[in-house]
Amino acid sequence: MTDRNRLIIFDTTLRDGEQSPGASMNLPEKLEIARALQELGVDVIEAGFPIASPGDFEAVQAVARQVEGVTICGLARCNADDIDRAWEALRDAAQPRIHVFLATSAIHREFKLKMAKEEIVRRAVQGVQRAKQYCEDVEFSPEDAARTELDFLAEVVEKAIEAGATTVNIPDTVGYAVPEQYAAAIRHLKQNVRGIDNVVISVHCHNDLGLAVANSLTALKEGARQVECTINGIGERAGNCALEEVVMAVKTRGDYFGIQSTINTKRLCPSSRLVAHVTGLLVQRNKAIVGQNAFAHEAGIHQDGMLKERRTYEIMQPEDVGLTKTELVLGKHSGRHALREKVRELGYHLDDAQLQRVFEQFKALADRKKQIYDADIEALAETQIHDGPAIWTLESFHTSAGTGTLPMAAVCLAHVDGRKVEDAACGDGPVDAVFKTVERITGISPELRDYQVRSVSVGEDAQGEARVEVEHEGRVQRGQAVSTDVIEASALAFLQAINRLAMRRQQRMNPQTEAVTVS
Amino acid sequence: MTDRNRLIIFDTTLRDGEQSPGASMNLPEKLEIARALQELGVDVIEAGFPIASPGDFEAVQAVARQVEGVTICGLARCNADDIDRAWEALRDAAQPRIHVFLATSAIHREFKLKMAKEEIVRRAVQGVQRAKQYCEDVEFSPEDAARTELDFLAEVVEKAIEAGATTVNIPDTVGYAVPEQYAAAIRHLKQNVRGIDNVVISVHCHNDLGLAVANSLTALKEGARQVECTINGIGERAGNCALEEVVMAVKTRGDYFGIQSTINTKRLCPSSRLVAHVTGLLVQRNKAIVGQNAFAHEAGIHQDGMLKERRTYEIMQPEDVGLTKTELVLGKHSGRHALREKVRELGYHLDDAQLQRVFEQFKALADRKKQIYDADIEALAETQIHDGPAIWTLESFHTSAGTGTLPMAAVCLAHVDGRKVEDAACGDGPVDAVFKTVERITGISPELRDYQVRSVSVGEDAQGEARVEVEHEGRVQRGQAVSTDVIEASALAFLQAINRLAMRRQQRMNPQTEAVTVS
């Protein structure tokens, strides 16, 4: 494959994806996703917006230091503080990239930035130049480019290239573009910007009208060669261009696009499941490529056609995207080695101590459950990539509930300092009673914003995965846990969220400065 | 608005949407959705495929008889039996349409139909002519049109028009098309098919590569004027073009498309929630237009911009799609009239008896729960549109579970014949114990395929909505119920599924013939 036909996949799951309401991730979670992206074969990982918060800075720095063989990118506005801070986070990366942005559309100039065109150009040039002092690989984004006057857009882009930008990204920040128009904008730049043939044209589309993938693909036909995207299409509002869709469209319609990415498509489904687990943003059943139904044929005529010739109704094969049919994997007698292999295959990177804990849980589960599925193993592995040691752990609990009786729970929690505390409470139901008891013991009473349980595999002995989202003193925290007992899973998930709140209360050293983020 | 600028919305939620694995609906559910579609303002409702099964026939007939002011369409293959049966179901509609289809692509001709081109043309013409004997409004679809040779496609379409088709639909049955190519196919037909200007060109796109909406929109620029779509984009595999996305794209980008639909966009969110509830196919948070996050701005820079000027980051307003901010609706002292209004506003059509039951449940809920939200009312209304009288009802239950104890449940069920049966069982957890006890009492032991619980509103006193999907003797059934007690909700949902299986066992008169369905 020549450079000309090479599609660069720029993943921003950790930056724009993390901006999805409810999807904030902690450091171990971000590292796990970064490693999965590296295995998936993406070219660039945008790991965060270093100046936005200490957490963002640490994440970019950790990814820059620990994830190899891929370009690591950090975001910055066009000002010295942002760019310096981005470089501080990125400097240990083998292949660092600084991504600077500044809005260019009339509405952003007038209402948000209150700057004239000349000022925008000046700032953009200064930003690129400052980034270039640190790093050869500099990307420039005119925010809200899709609503910017074409002539002015061409002017800004040309100046950014002169100043040293090696990639110019054309964001449709608000998801307003339609394919033909967006393609025309790329064509206009191709024809009118001096030096454009020496840089990579990138696209960054949002999905507000359901057109992010189509806009990105149409731009590729006009010569764009980098697509900014996220796993499962997560991101601000309706999200970003879905990585798995753009990759499979280019692959399936290679006859039309004539370009190739280096994505290992068999890692698409595992990556999708990992991101869904970590962010709590589940994928709908009819989601293209990675949804549960994406390859399911229901109608009789379709099934009939499939039996006669697969291609009558199937343009991709489930194996191509890593959807394996034989989900049944391990049994009671499977050993540590088989488990280690399976965990890796599912896309998790656990150290020996974590793997040992998963192995113990797996053995306990195999005693209770006849068949262990991939999803069971994933659920166990996932609990390992969250936090450090917990302040409170569940020692034991008991619940009683039913018609005409007051639902009640008794809970015993162990504190990290050694003491054990027992208490009991009533509730609307047994889960509510457990939550109320945990609140009594820990002294933390958050508001429950969301609560979900789902079976992670099939059968009545399937494990239930509980997820809670709570809000306390303006902060949202999530918790997640699995058990064959729904009440136990709920108790553990709630306790995880409480522990995160308690940790935060203990630390209280880094005041929140999450006032910035973008496109 | 002139005819030329009028976009016809053809909804196939009840036909192609119902082909989503796991989404089959019963008659009351289909009628409820049909009424919601009529209120939403769609032009055509494809209500089913009458010959596919007795259930499909009854649904098309009921919708044809009861839903007014909209064209009711039934699907048929190009053969006499199918078409006669379709007409039988449709004949009482004020505005009936027969939709006949026949595959035209080389791969379908060769492997599925084993017919030469001449035979395809002959059958298509015969099909349209037979439908035309019954009904003026006839639609013809060359299945897998997007993979059909353009010249042959033009030939078939021209012959179908000569035979009397008033709408010609160009399906991308397998979701293979890309926008530019698909537009070129429409353009080719516009330029080469005699009589095409006298009929409506329709598009029917699938979302396997994430391009269903984009393909549909691009075709509109070439003169197509009917879009076939489904609420939430449900349908075979990755689903169909999402109605809400295509409607809002055309509305938001009116400057570009220059066409208008008659959809009341404020009904989009209620319709989406109804279909999600009924089918169990939940919408992901980052789904465009109707997802929970579609209008949520997370990033600081975005929030800052929104405060300065909404349009910096918002191209549509949540109110435009019926997403209301003030969700808090009714309290303990609200009366029957307020409840009736609210139920209607949420898109449900309940009779007096159903409304009375919802009112009683609402009062009971208001005793337990401080704040009643829209979602609480929806959950109560939804339980009314399922079945007739149940064979088994839950009299009472008790569960006990916790660390180191064997989870157990005692359940008392009442049979419709008057007897009451009590029993108890152990399980992996209290929910499993309840399910096992219900199985003991009823003598029906299905396999549990899926189990989910989610809070329908916020707060610890939120109701939990439980959903189960079970499989028994090759049939899949679902159950759904709400309660502030997770165990009770689970028991009721499981019992609903069991009742449906028991009903089916009692009836056993209509053998299944669900061997057909399409595109």
Q: Give the rounded distance of the alpha carbon of A302 from its chain centre.
A: 34
CA of A16 to nearest chain B CA: how many angstroms apart? 9
CA of A191 to nearest chain B CA: how many angstroms apart? 21
Could you give the CA distance from residue B55 to residue B24 in angstroms, rounded to a whole number?
Answer: 10
Cα B63 to Cα A256, B47, B139, distances in angstroms: 43, 7, 19
Could you give the CA distance from residue A457 to residue B110 in angstroms, rounded to a whole number?
Answer: 39
Which of A232, A289, A485 faces B430 most closely, judged by CB atoms? A485
Q: Which residue of B has its CA nearest to A235?
A: B286
Average pLDDT in chain B = 89
Instruction: Give me the interface pTM, i.e. the ipTM.
Output: 0.85
- Paired strand residues for B272: none
- B424 chain-A contacts, CB cut-off 8 A: none
**Contacts for B306 with CB less than 8 Å, ≥ 6 apart:** B297, B312, B313, B314
Could you give the CA distance from residue B67 to residue B2 in angstroms, rounded to a whole number?
Answer: 26
Which of A235, A242, A484 faces B210 most closely, judged by CB atoms? A242
Could you give the CA distance from residue A339 to residue A329 in angstroms, rounded to a whole number?
Answer: 9
Which of B282, B293, B430 faces A487 most closely, judged by CB atoms? B430
Which of A218, A281, A313 faces B284 most closely, judged by CB atoms? A281
Q: Would you state the pLDDT for residue A379?
A: 79
Confidence check: pLDDT of A509 > 70:
no
Q: Which of A231-235, B118-122, B261-265, B327-331 has the lowest mean pLDDT?
A: B327-331
Interchain CB distance below 8 Å, B296 and A207: no
Interchain CB distance below 8 Å, A298 and B236: yes
- H helices within A92-239, ranges in order? 106-107, 117-134, 150-162, 179-192, 212-221
Q: Which of A136-150, A501-515, B25-39, B215-229 has the lowest mean pLDDT?
A: A501-515
Q: Which helix (H) or strand (E) holds B39?
A: helix B27-40
Q: Which pLDDT tens digit goes with each residue over A93-110?
A: 999 999 999 999 999 988
* Range A296-305 average pLDDT: 71
Q: Which residue of B has its CA nearest to A237?
A: B294
Interchain CB distance below 8 Å, B458 and A447: yes
Q: Would you state the pLDDT for residue B81?
A: 97
Interchain CB distance below 8 Å, A238 and B288: yes
| Contact between A64 and A72 (Cβ < 8 Å) | yes
Q: Which residue has the tokens 């309401």?
A: A21
Q: Which residue of A has its CA nearest to B281?
A: A285
**Contacts for A356 with CB less than 8 Å, ≥ 6 apart:** none
- Residue A195's Cβ-side half-sphere holds a number of Cα atoms within 13 Å equal to 16
- B20 chain-A contacts, CB cut-off 8 A: 285-286, 293, 298
Cα B517 to Cα A297, A490, B511, distances in angstroms: 11, 41, 17
Higher pLDDT, A455 or A244: A244
| Contact between B227 and B7 (Cβ < 8 Å) | yes
Largest CA distance in chain B: 78
Q: Which pLDDT tens digit goes with each residue over B139-159?
A: 999 999 999 999 999 999 999
Quickly state the pLDDT bin for A513 (edges 50, 70, 90).
very low
Most confident of A23-37, A249-263, A345-359, B302-316: A249-263
Q: Which residue of A has its CA nearest to B104?
A: A312
* Range A487-504 average pLDDT: 89
Q: Which helix (H) or strand (E) holds B166?
A: none
Could you give the CA distance from residue B137 to residue A407 in angstroms, rounded to a whole number?
Answer: 60
Residue of B299, B289, B371 lying closest to B330 (CA atoms) = B371
Q: Which pLDDT tens digit goes with each residue over B293-323?
A: 898 876 666 777 777 778 888 889 888 998 8
Confidence check: pLDDT of B160 > 90:
yes
Cα A199 to Cα A259, A392, B150, distances in angstroms: 17, 53, 38
Confidence check: pLDDT of B224 > 50:
yes
Confidence check: pLDDT of A510 > 70:
no
Interchain CB distance below 8 Å, A237 and B211: no
Which of B52, B405, B484 faces A398 most closely, judged by CB atoms? B405
Confidence check: pLDDT of B355 > 50:
yes
* Range A248-257 average pLDDT: 96
- B410 chain-A contacts, CB cut-off 8 A: 402
CA of B280 to nearest chain A CA: how many angstroms apart? 10
Could you give the CA distance from residue B317 to residue B314 in angstroms, rounded to a whole number?
Answer: 7
Q: Would you state the pLDDT for residue B511?
A: 40
Q: Tell me, what DSSP letter sits at residue A156?
A: H
Q: Which pLDDT tens digit goes with each residue over B33-45?
A: 999 999 999 999 9
CA of A437 to nearest chain B CA: how many angstroms apart? 12
Interchain CB distance below 8 Å, B484 and A428: yes
**Contacts for A233 with CB less than 8 Å, ≥ 6 apart:** A207, A212, A239, A240, A241, A242, A243, A245, B286
β-bridge pairing B8-11 and B44-48: parallel
Higher pLDDT, B21 or B471: B471
Which of A218, A369, A460 faces B179 most closely, judged by CB atoms? A218
Which of B238, B394, B428 faces A461 most closely, judged by CB atoms? B428
Percent of chain B with pLDDT over 70: 93
Which of A401, A431, A461 faces B432 most closely, judged by CB atoms? A461
Q: Would you state the pLDDT for residue B140?
A: 98
- B284 chain-A contacts, CB cut-off 8 A: 232, 281-284, 287
Quickly state the pLDDT bin for B513 (edges 50, 70, 90).
very low
**Contacts for A215 with CB less than 8 Å, ≥ 6 apart:** A172, A177, A178, A179, A182, A203, A205, A241, B214
Could you give the CA distance from residue A24 to residue B101 in angstroms, rounded to a whole number?
Answer: 48
Percent of chain A with pLDDT over 70: 93
CA dihedral B183, B184, B185, B188 (to 10 degrees): 130
Q: What share of chain B is helix, strand, coil (3-state, %, to 5)?
A: 45, 20, 35
Edge-first strand order for the sheet with B464-472 is A475-483, A464-472, A447-455, B447-455, B464-472, B475-483
| Contact between A218 and B180 (Cβ < 8 Å) | yes
Q: Which tokens hold the place of A471?
A: 């809000």
Which of B20, B316, B452 faces A453 most closely, judged by CB atoms? B452
Q: Would you state the pLDDT for residue B507?
A: 61
Percent of chain B with pLDDT over 90: 61
Question: What's the distance, Cα to Cα, between the start and end of chain A in Å?
Answer: 32
Size of interface A-B (CB pairs under 8 A): 410
Q: Would you state the pLDDT for residue B509?
A: 41
Question: What's the distance, Cα to Cα, between the start and end of chain B in Å?
Answer: 32
Q: Which residue of B has its CA nearest to A148?
A: B312
Interchain CB distance below 8 Å, B315 and A515: no
Q: Which residue of A has its CA nearest to B370?
A: A428
Q: Which pLDDT tens digit goes with each residue over A35-55?
A: 999 999 999 999 999 999 898
Quickly state the pLDDT bin for A455 (edges 50, 70, 90).
confident
Which of B217, B297, B399 faces A401 most closely, judged by CB atoms? B399
**Contacts for B434 with CB less than 8 Å, ≥ 6 apart:** B397, B399, B409, B411, B427, B487, B490, B491, B494
Q: Would you state the pLDDT for residue A258?
A: 96
3-state SS, one letter per residue, for A293-355: CCCCCCCHHHHHHHHHCHHHCCCCCHHHHCCCCCCEEECCCCCHHHHHHHHHHCCCCCCHHHH
Q: What are phi and psi of B66, to 5 degrees?
A: -105, -20
Q: Which of A19-33, A57-71, A355-369, B175-189 has the lowest mean pLDDT?
A: A355-369
Q: Which helix (H) or strand (E) holds B269?
A: helix B268-279
CA of A133 to nearest chain B CA: how many angstroms apart? 26
- Provide the 3-class DSSP secondary structure of residue A402: strand
Quickly state the pLDDT bin for A515 (edges 50, 70, 90).
very low
Helices A212-221 and B179-192 pack at an angle, to 10 degrees, of 80
Q: Which residue of B has its CA nearest to A183?
A: B180
* Range A125-150 average pLDDT: 97
Interchain CB distance below 8 Å, A399 and B396: no
Could you give the CA distance from residue B485 to residue A433 in angstroms, rounded to a whole number?
Answer: 10
Q: Which residue of B has its CA nearest to A276?
A: B284
CA of B332 to nearest chain A CA: how many angstroms apart? 17
Q: Which pLDDT tens digit goes with each residue over B438-457?
A: 999 999 999 998 898 988 77
Residue of A150, A142, A149, A204 lying closest to A172 (CA atoms) = A204
Q: Which pLDDT tens digit goes with each residue over B256-273?
A: 999 999 999 999 999 999
- B365 chain-A contacts, CB cut-off 8 A: none
Could you give the CA distance from residue B415 to residue B25 in angstroms, rounded to a whole number?
Answer: 25
Higher pLDDT, A84 or A24: A84
Q: Which tokens hold the place of B155?
A: 């030939």
Interchain CB distance below 8 Å, A217 and B211: yes
Confidence check: pLDDT of A299 > 80:
no
Q: Which pLDDT tens digit goes with each residue over B83-93?
A: 999 999 999 99
CA of A424 to nearest chain B CA: how many angstroms apart? 13
Q: Would you state the pLDDT for residue A388?
A: 63
- B213 chain-A contacts, CB cut-off 8 A: 209-211, 214
* Range A169-185 average pLDDT: 96
Burial (CB count <10 Å: 0-12, 13-18, 19+), residue B507 = exposed
Quickly state the pLDDT bin for A227 (edges 50, 70, 90).
very high
* Range B398-419 average pLDDT: 92
Could you give the CA distance from residue B66 to residue B328 in angstroms, rounded to a whole number?
Answer: 33
β-bridge pairing B200-205 and B226-229: parallel
| Contact between B510 and B500 (Cβ < 8 Å) | no
Q: Which of A437-446, B72-81, B280-289, B336-345 has the lowest mean pLDDT?
A: B336-345
Average pLDDT in chain A = 89
**Quick one: how many helices (H) and strands (E) in chain A?**
17, 16
Confidence check: pLDDT of B515 > 50:
no
Higher pLDDT, A20 or A442: A442
Q: Would you state the pLDDT for residue A517?
A: 45
Burial (CB count <10 Å: 0-12, 13-18, 19+), residue B460 = buried
Interchain CB distance below 8 Å, A288 and B238: yes
Interchain CB distance below 8 Å, A436 and B460: yes
Could you give the CA distance from residue B134 to residue B118 in angstroms, rounded to a whole number?
Answer: 25
